[in-house]
Amino acid sequence: MRTSPTSRKDTSATPLATIGYQGATMPEFLAALEAAGVELLVDVRAVTSSRRPGFSKHALTAHLATVGIEYLHLRGLGTPADGRAAARAGRHDRLRTIYGAHLATPAAESDLAVLSDIVRSGRRACLLCFEADPAHCHRSLVAGALAGHVPLEVVHLAPHDTSSDLE
């Protein structure tokens, strides 16, 4: 478990987790979510298919249901194709620039408002993407943008470290 530097240390801060499934098995992934008390997994991938078995939208939804976790896909918060290409090329500064511009689009703003409402409701939510390292993933940028609207304590879960907890 890692606490993000974008986190606010505020007594009214709501916990928000993020997780990447790169290199994780489904049992490790589910164990990390359960250990953190996650109630809702919010998929912020633009494309919900995956080459990793079990991590495409429908299979993932079914796996999550076995442990009582709901699934929500917010496509508007996914990374545009040019941002994904920059990430694959290791051009993380370029990804941040592209994604920063994307956050100003109506689709992203709408889905960020939905996510804000979820967090304000007190539900234990977790943002999902592929990249294991949150510093190289747009989910950290989503959390940072959200922190501008809602006091947050962002916790980055690691599927290989199931000692994580949102409390």
Alpha-carbon distance of 131 to 159, in angstroms, equals 12
CA 142/CA 129 separation, integer angstroms: 11
The pLDDT assigned to 161 comes to 52
| Average pLDDT for 116-122 | 95
In this structure, the chain runs to a length of 167
pLDDT tens column, 4-50? 434 444 457 889 999 999 999 999 999 999 999 999 999 999 999 99
pLDDT of residue 160: 73
- What count of other Cβ atoms lies within 10 Å of the Cβ of residue 77? 30
Q: For the chain, list the domains and their CATH numbers.
A: 2-157 (3.40.1010.10)
Whole-model pTM over 0.75:
yes
Q: Supply the pLDDT for residue 167.
A: 36
Cβ–Cβ contacts within 10 Å for residue 136, how many? 15
Per-residue burial over 87-122, b if 16 or more Cβ lie within 10 Å, else e, is: beeeebeebbebbeebbeeeebeebbeebeebbeee
Q: Report whether pLDDT(140) > 70.
A: yes
